[in-house]
Amino acid sequence: MKFAYSDKVDSLVARVEAFMSDHVYPAEQEYHDYVENSDTRWVIPPVMEELKKKAKSEGLWNLFLAEFEDYGAGLTNLEYAPLSETMGRSMIGSEVFNCSAPDTGNMEVLARYGTQAQKDDWLIPLLNGEIRSAFAMTEPAVASSDATNIQCTIDRQGDEYVINGRKWWTSGAPDPRCKIMIVMGKTDVNAPRHTQQSQVLVPMDTPGVNVLRPLKVFGSDDAPHGHAEIVFEDVRVPASNIIGAEGEGFAIAQGRLGPGRIHHCMRLIGCAQRAVELMCDRVETRVAFGKKLSEQGSIREDVAKSICEVEQARLLTLKAAERMDEISYKEARDLIAMIKVVAPMMAQTVIDRAIQAHGAMGLSQDTFLAEAFAYARTVRLADGPDQVHMNSLGKQIIRRYAA
């Protein structure tokens, strides 16, 4: 049992922290202003590409990819955790280091299951940060937390797959750099429940792909990233675009969720930690009714509760990461469920307190709190709502301990 990092990781953390302080936080305003002042909002602020170039040149690039030393930095999940947390402290942080969702998950899927051609065409440009990608799974018509509900069809017709369906919450699809989508659908509705699904690669410019509208979160379109509703109407792709084999879609989706979930949790811990720090700073500088906010008991209790919750969620996430590294994603599934239940709710709660301490400013575009709150709230639904994880976790735990 040891709660300190190796020198190697400490040094990486220090480098990412310095990069964030020197380059990322100072660019947040410019980034947002650029989007705000553009006509369409679906534009990439040049500062982002500059930051990416700089991070890449410093070797702070593709730090995730725990299992694929060829492609990434050769870090374990546990080693990546504090880096991901640090990047997550800014809503534009992860992308700077080419570590943002859904590209990370898509790159892992391609690294694990992709053919050489798929890797050449899509994985390499993604690793280089030249393009971005999306993952189209959730559908408006069914409870998509149960992936067997999915209705999108992927029909083999000769050398092609023909895709029909409606997806939404396809994050990143509105980004003009997004060139490729992984689409989950059913290739065989008569197969057993968990082998009906397949995943295929669909270039964004394929005819029949209609990006209808950006969905909003609390009224924000999250531009230029965004979350799209997309109709697939007789969309045809070569049969070689399938990932793995027909019927493997469900298993591939399960595989991506472990790392995907823990990455979200790491980032959210970064969000929550920064929220606490902003809160501390704020309450020290405001006076009401003759007393600094920082001297008021209830404010101090809010800070105390928050730091306790952040630190606990962090430790739990680190333990989950270690188990993923040491044993297997499957064996670590109870710990992954635990952090998926804990971290987003914790972040929502802690950020809510920080908002409250900021007064109305905390709700506005003048701090990162409102954006971070929306992110935390979203993750309580993304990759399965809290209730689904609590249910399966509870079931596991009862099975373990019932005599």
* Contacts of a second copy in 141-170 (CB under 8 A): 142-146, 149, 168-169
Q: Is 287 in the site for a second copy (CB under 8 A)?
A: yes
Nearer to a second copy, 191 or 280 (CB): 280
Indicate which single residue of 301, 328, 330, 331 sits in contact with a second copy (rule: CB under 8 A). 301
Q: Of 43 and 280, which CB lies nearer to a second copy in the complex structure?
A: 280
Cα–chain-centroid distance for residue 78?
17
Is residue 140 a contact point for a second copy (CB under 8 A)?
yes
Q: Which of residues 168-197 bind a second copy (CB under 8 A)?
A: 168-169
Amino acid occupying residue 142: V
Q: Is 55 exposed, middle or buried (0-12, 13-18, 19+ CB in 10 A)?
A: buried
Q: Which of 14, 277, 330, 331 is close enough to bind a second copy by CB under 8 A?
A: 277
Query: Near a second copy by CB under 8 A, which window of 16-24, 124-132, 251-259, 359-367?
Result: 359-367
**Of 158 and 290, CB closest to a second copy:** 290
Q: Which is nearer to a second copy, 6 or 210 (CB)?
A: 6
Provide, rounded to whole angstroms, the least separation between the CB of residue 400 and a second copy: 7
Q: Identify residue 207 by its one-letter amino acid code.
A: P
Beta carbons of 97 and 48 less than 8 angstroms apart: no
Considering the complex, state which of residue 263 and residue 389 has its C-beta at the smaller distance from a second copy: 389
**Cα 294 from chain centroid (whole Å):** 34
Binding residues for a second copy, rule CB under 8 A, total 100
In the complex with a second copy, which residue's Cβ is closer, 49 or 284? 284
Q: Which is nearer to a second copy, 18 or 308 (CB)?
A: 308
Q: Residue with structure tokens 């709230």?
A: 377
231 is a contact residue toward a second copy (CB under 8 A) = no
Identify the CA nearest to 377 among candidates 355, 361, 394: 355
Q: Does residue 215 touch a second copy according to CB under 8 A?
A: yes
Residues 29-58 that bind a second copy (CB under 8 A): none
Rg (CA), the chain: 21
Least Å distance between CB 271 and a second copy?
A: 14
Residue closer to a second copy by CB (options 55, 78) is 78
Closest CA to 379 of 181, 32, 91: 91
| Matching residue, tokens 């905390």 | 362
Minimal CA–CA distance to 265: which of 348, 152, 164? 348
CB of 360 to a second copy, least distance (A): 5
Q: Are 265 and 344 in contact (CB under 8 A)?
A: yes
Q: Is 363 in the site for a second copy (CB under 8 A)?
A: yes
CB 228 within 8 A of CB 174: yes
Q: Which one of the spans 22-30, 155-163, 235-243, 348-356 is the region binding a second copy (CB under 8 A)?
A: 348-356
Q: Directed axis angle between helix 77-88 and helix 7-19, to 10°?
A: 20
Exactly one of 109, 182, 237, 283 binds a second copy (CB under 8 A); that residue is: 283
CB 172 within 8 A of CB 131: no
SS3 184: strand
Q: How far is the CB of 164 from a second copy (least distance, A)?
A: 21
Q: Would you say 78 or 271 has its CB closer to a second copy?
A: 78
CB-based contact 246:237 (threshold 8 Å): no
Q: Is the dihedral of CA 44, 82, 333, 217 positive or negative?
A: negative
**Judged by CB under 8 A, does residue 319 bind a second copy?**
yes
